[in-house]
């Protein structure tokens, strides 16, 4: 590399490797939100997160959840435990939810030009255990990718699970 004549050979090789890796991974370009986002993509992602995903859990619908989650899906729960797609499918198959009401409020929905989306927000759950009503909220963020025209979740993170007063 003639541009760094006084640099030792090992440094030249390291710099070349870093530049080559940056070029291959695309990290030289900052991902930007795209205005090419179609209304269909926004509607699809909103329906997926607010309607279909909760429906899969509520109805123990492993076929629907299998369609939503990419094969490499990973979840980190509020306690820091890691789960994969197979774990989630097994979980909903074995666990019936007892809540009476669930609503997901999207606070962030960004789609990037590389076909990646972030959907984040607050889940609101209401129910009762043995006649004791409860109301809880949690925060979650989800990363989805568009493959062959379909959005698939590849990562989820849940945190901030807490009981809230009935007036909230």
Tell whether 19 is covered by a domain: no
Tell whether 9 is covered by a domain: no
- Of the candidates 94, 109, 136, the one whose C-alpha atom is nearest the C-alpha of residue 48 is 109
Domain containing 41 — which CATH number? 3.10.450.50
7-21, 91-105, 135-149, range with greatest mean pLDDT: 135-149
Please report the pLDDT score of residue 98 as a whole number. 83
Question: How does pLDDT run across 2-36, given as a tens digit for each residue?
Answer: 444 454 555 455 554 454 444 444 444 444 444 45
Rounded Cα distance between 134 and 130, Å, is: 11
Alpha carbon distances (Å) from 30 to 50, 70, 114: 29, 25, 11
Tell whether 23 is covered by a domain: no
Q: Is the pLDDT of residue 157 over 60?
A: yes
Please give the sequence-ordered ranges of beta strands (E in DSSP) within the chain, or none if there are none. 69-76, 82-84, 101-111, 116-129, 132-147, 150-163
Question: How does pLDDT run across 45-85, given as a tens digit for each residue?
Answer: 999 999 999 999 999 999 999 999 999 999 999 999 999 99
Rounded Cα distance between 38 and 97, Å, is: 34
Tell whether 20 is covered by a domain: no
Number of structural domains the chain divides into: 1
Question: Residue 39 is part of which domain span?
Answer: 32-163
Please report the pLDDT score of residue 19 as a whole number. 45
What is the pLDDT confidence band of residue 131, given thresholds at 50, 70 and 90? confident
Rounded Cα distance between 55 and 77, Å, is: 19
- What would the mean pLDDT of 94-118 be, rounded to a whole number? 93
Tell whether 168 is covered by a domain: no
Please report the pLDDT score of residue 3 as a whole number. 43
Task: Assign 37 to helix, strand or coil.
Answer: coil
Tell whether 4 is covered by a domain: no
DSSP-H helix ranges across 5-160: 9-25, 39-47, 53-58, 62-68, 85-94
Q: What is the pTM of this model?
A: 0.74
- Of the candidates 36, 49, 33, the one whose C-alpha atom is nearest the C-alpha of residue 152 is 49
Tell whether 107 is covered by a domain: yes
Tell whether 14 is covered by a domain: no
Please report the pLDDT score of residue 167 as a whole number. 59
Mean residue pLDDT across the chain:
84
């Amino acid at each position: 590399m003639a541009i760094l004549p006084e640099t030792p050979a090992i440094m030249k090789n390291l710099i070349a490797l870093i530049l080559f890796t940056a070029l291959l991974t695309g990290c030289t370009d900052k991902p930007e939100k795209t205005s090419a986002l179609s209304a269909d993509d926004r509607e699809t992602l909103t329906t997926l997160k607010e309607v279909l995903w909760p429906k899969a859990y509520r109805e123990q619908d492993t076929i629907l959840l299998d369609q939503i989650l990419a094969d490499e899906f990973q979840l980190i729960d509020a306690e820091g435990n890691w789960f994969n797609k197979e774990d989630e499918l097994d979980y909903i198959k074995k666990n019936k939810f007892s809540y009476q009401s669930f609503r997901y409020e999207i606070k962030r929905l960004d789609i990037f030009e590389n076909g990646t989306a972030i959907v984040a927000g607050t889940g609101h759950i209401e129910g009762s255990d043995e006649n004791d009503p409860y109301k809880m909220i949690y925060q979650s963020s989800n990363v989805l990718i568009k493959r062959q025209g379909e959005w698939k979740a590849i990562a989820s993170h849940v945190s901030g699970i807490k009981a809230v007063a009935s007036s909230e």
